[in-house]
A and B are shown apart, each in its own frame.
Chain A
Amino acid sequence: AQSVTQLGSHVSVSEGALVLLRCNYSSSVPPYLFWYVQYPNQGLQLLLKYTSAATLVKGINGFEAEFKKSETSFHLTKPSAHMSDAAEYFCAVSAMNSGYSTLTFGKGTMLLVSP
């Protein structure tokens, strides 16, 4: 069964510092991978997705993620954190469910940004 593991339930950075949120996946087939963001009191929004094209995927708000098959990883990065990036981030992998494709989400990483 497909699954994702997000390392670190909380990550703290200073404004302007590099953001690195870790995600490792487990999949028996080539995976499709996603990062979603959830701002306080809102639903989730898609940041970016990997669907077996380029291994470096660029998303919204300056975020990007690199698919590394050898490491089974799909870590999310941003060169310089902004206060507005404070939110919870979820990695997700495609999974087959009763013959249909669904998403399995990780447990989430809360990003805290300090001035």
Chain B
Amino acid sequence: DVKVTQSSRYLVKRTGEKVFLECVQDMDHENMFWYRQDPGLGLRLIYFSYDVKMKEKGDIPEGYSVSREKKERFSLILESASTNQTSMYLCASSLGVNLAPLHFGNGTRLTVT
């Protein structure tokens, strides 16, 4: 089974802090994604990557950046955390073929105070 591991289940940070959310997948998937999930809004795509060192903006990239230095790892960075970034963050990966199923991690619930 594909395993997508997010380093923290719960995270509490202060406004203005730089925050790193880490995601690792163990199935050599080319594609990796970061979504945020908010009640009543569903999942919204923040950034995605189709290859090492490659990144593309999703629908809501403002306030975020990403890093993909190795194929198995995709990091989401909040340069200066704000309270409106309090949310559940979900990482996902998929094979290189378009529209292959997404495999999700269990999520990181980030609270910014």
Contacts and interface: CB of A to CB of B under 8 A. Distances in A.
A93 to B, nearest CB: 11
Interface in B38-90: 40-45, 48, 50, 56-59, 90
Contact of B57 (A32, A98, A107): A98
Interface residues of B, number: 25
A41 B88 CA distance: 10
B106 A102 contact: no
A108 B40 CA distance: 7
Interface string A16-46: 0000000000000000101010000111111
A100 B48 contact: yes
Interface residues on A, range: 20 to 34
Given A43-B105, A46-B101, A49-B101, A102 B43 contact: no
A97 B48 contact: yes
A46 B102 CA distance: 7
B12 interface: no
